[in-house]
Amino acid sequence: MLRAKQVSAREVAQAHLDRIRHEDEKYGCFLTVDEPRTLAEADHAQELLDRGEAGPLTGIPIAIKDNISTKGLRTTCASRILENYVPPFDATVMQQISSQGLVTLGKTNLDEFAMGTSCENSAFKPSRNPWDTSRSPGGSSGGSAAAVAAELAPLSLGSDTGGSIRMPASLCGIVGYKPTYGRVSRYGLVAFGSSLDQIGPFARNVEDCALLAEAISGHDHRDSTSLQDAKIKVGGLKSGRLNGLKFALPKEMFEGALEPGVRQIMEETVATLTREGVQFTEISIPEIGLGVTTYYIIAPAEASSNLARFDGVRYGPREESQGHIGVVAATRGRLFGHEVKARIMIGTYALSAGYYDAFYLKAQKVRAKMAAKFEQAFQDFDAVLTPASPVVAFKLGELSDDPLQLKLLDFCTIPANMGGFPGISLNAGFSDGLPVGVQLLAPVMGDEKLLQMAYSVERALPDAIRRPNMP
Ligand code: GLN
């Protein structure tokens, strides 16, 4: 419609801003919206459209997780310690989306510093699941996921360190994709676990998700872990077929912890895809059982180092106290939330002299072993299929007093971060009216084929694209 001039970019932006203004009270997706700025971006997009310089996403609105730096627009990481922080620079992904004429609607809620699985660790407010607003949208990118599901934005960006894109996508019934580590620049993403963090897209279908992945990917000299052939090219998205594909089912992802409703949808998905000609084989990767333990050493260790910069001197607010150490202690003690402080302490301990070998180094060895086992599986199979989350959306408050239980929910998504390989979650069906996501995993740099397979799987699953009941 934009290209045919049936609507202007400004009208599209205004329609979304109006919807956010009227509906977001129910969902709590946005932390910051700057309407004049959004409309100015829309006018810039219109110029690109009028000059015939439009790309595939020019004029399309997008919501941005609030741990991605936006020049001149508050970036809080949902933390009191960054409550008033306005970055003086744009993340590389922001430069890419603005040069391609996407229109930023605002910044979305998350668990503080992306540490969490429910979006309840935000210092400001929880976000809510559009399928049932008494439930969590998942986390940590809960605001970005819920915004897309609630049709407040057609696209959004999240970040995924241990599952924070794929897990909320599963709970909100949309598509969430973590690209291969190094294909999307991390420059300007506020670092959590630097060896695990990756920015990626949310969308309502695989095609939109692929277009956004193409838009944000590419080599970046400002990110030392950026890959040379980073651009994700999605021209072949629709030319795949399911018939003849070989998928592995790691039995450790289907044991015990799965909710019965999730297990049933997974069984139905396997049956449907088998009818389409996919061959399934059960495999075993025992290291999956060590994933949560290993991740919750490595991620806090890296976080404890990354978060040392928030000292009350360089960013955001400061708590006054006696002397330098007093100021740092008061600032960090009062302005970091409980989960963030717990992780800084765990991580500092795991890295300290005498414990480094026993914890961090050992965790890195388990990580390498797990990655090697998956690499082996990818030599024998086109993809590994798993649930994206062992549970459907849970009630807000239900697990907030049980951090261990919340962390155990991450076992399906952690391996992709450990091995740096790509993973995508798309909706496979419903359990008692709540969405259940299926995850496909593929080898490092296998993103194009992964998206192609996900596109074909989406065509085969009757419930893949559905909207919640809402105005
Ligand atoms: N739930 C995981 C955690 O709390 C993953 C977070 C993420 O991917 N950012 O660390």
Ligand 1 atom at minimum distance from 139 CA: 1
In angstroms, what is the span from residue 270 Cα to ligand 1's centroid? Answer: 28
In angstroms, what is the span from residue 117 Cα to ligand 1's centroid? Answer: 6
Q: What is the mean pLDDT of each run of 10 residues along the chain (471 residues)?
A: 96 98 98 98 98 96 98 98 95 97 98 98 98 98 98 98 98 98 98 98 98 98 98 97 98 91 98 98 97 97 96 86 94 96 97 92 97 98 98 96 92 98 98 98 98 98 91 71
Q: Look up the pTM and report it.
A: 0.98
d(CA 141, CA 109): 7
In angstroms, what is the span from residue 48 Cα to ligand 1's centroid? Answer: 37
Ligand 1 atom at minimum distance from 160 CA: 8
- Which residue in 425, 71, 375 sits closest to 262, CA to CA? 425
User: 10 Å Cβ neighbour count for 410?
Assistant: 22
Q: Give 373's contacts (C-beta < 8 A, 6+ positions apart).
A: 285, 287
pLDDT of residue 422: 98
**What stretch of H or E contains 464?**
none
* 3-state class percentages of the chain: helix first, strand second, coil last, to nearest 5: 45, 15, 40
The CATH homologous superfamily of the domain defined by 9-237: Amidase signature (AS) domain (3.90.1300.10)
In angstroms, what is the span from residue 340 Cα to ligand 1's centroid? Answer: 11
Active site annotation includes 122: no
Q: Which of 65, 119, 164 to mutate to test ligand 1, by most ligand atoms within 8 A of the CB atom?
A: 164
pLDDT of residue 317: 85
Domain ranges of the chain: 9-237
Catalytic residue among 65, 178, 373, 407: 65
Catalytic residue among 140, 144, 170, 304: 140
In angstroms, what is the span from residue 161 Cα to ligand 1's centroid? Answer: 6
Helix, strand, or coil (residue 410) = helix
Ligand 1 atom at minimum distance from 406 CA: 1
pLDDT of residue 470: 83
Active site annotation includes 65: yes
pLDDT of residue 4: 93
DSSP string, 176-196: EEEPPTTSB--TTBPPSSTTT
CA angle 179, 131, 252 (to 5 degrees): 50
Ligand 1 atom at minimum distance from 115 CA: 4
d(CA 86, CA 217): 25
Virtual torsion, Cα 201, 227, 302, 411, nearest 10 deg? 50
Instruction: Give ligand 1 pocket residues (Cβ under 6 A).
Output: 114-117, 140, 159-164, 192, 299, 410
In angstroms, what is the span from residue 192 Cα to ligand 1's centroid? Answer: 9
Backbone angles phi, psi at 291, to 5 degrees: -60, -50
Q: Which of 66, 77, 111, 298 to mutate to test ligand 1, by most ligand atoms within 8 A of the CB atom?
A: 111
Order of strands across the sheet with 383-387? 30-32, 103-108, 61-65, 155-160, 198-203, 175-178, 423-431, 434-441, 383-387, 246-250, 279-283
pLDDT of residue 257: 84
In angstroms, what is the span from residue 99 Cα to ligand 1's centroid? Answer: 30
Active site annotation includes 140: yes
pLDDT of residue 255: 84
Ligand 1 atom at minimum distance from 417 CA: 8
- Taking CA atoms only, the protein residue closest to ligand 1 atom 5 is 162
d(CA 458, CA 115): 30
Q: Which of 115, 118, 394, 402 to mutate to test ligand 1, by most ligand atoms within 8 A of the CB atom?
A: 115
Ligand 1 atom at minimum distance from 409 CA: 1
Would residue 238 be called left, alpha or beta, if left means φ above 0 and alpha means ψ between -120 and 50 degrees?
alpha
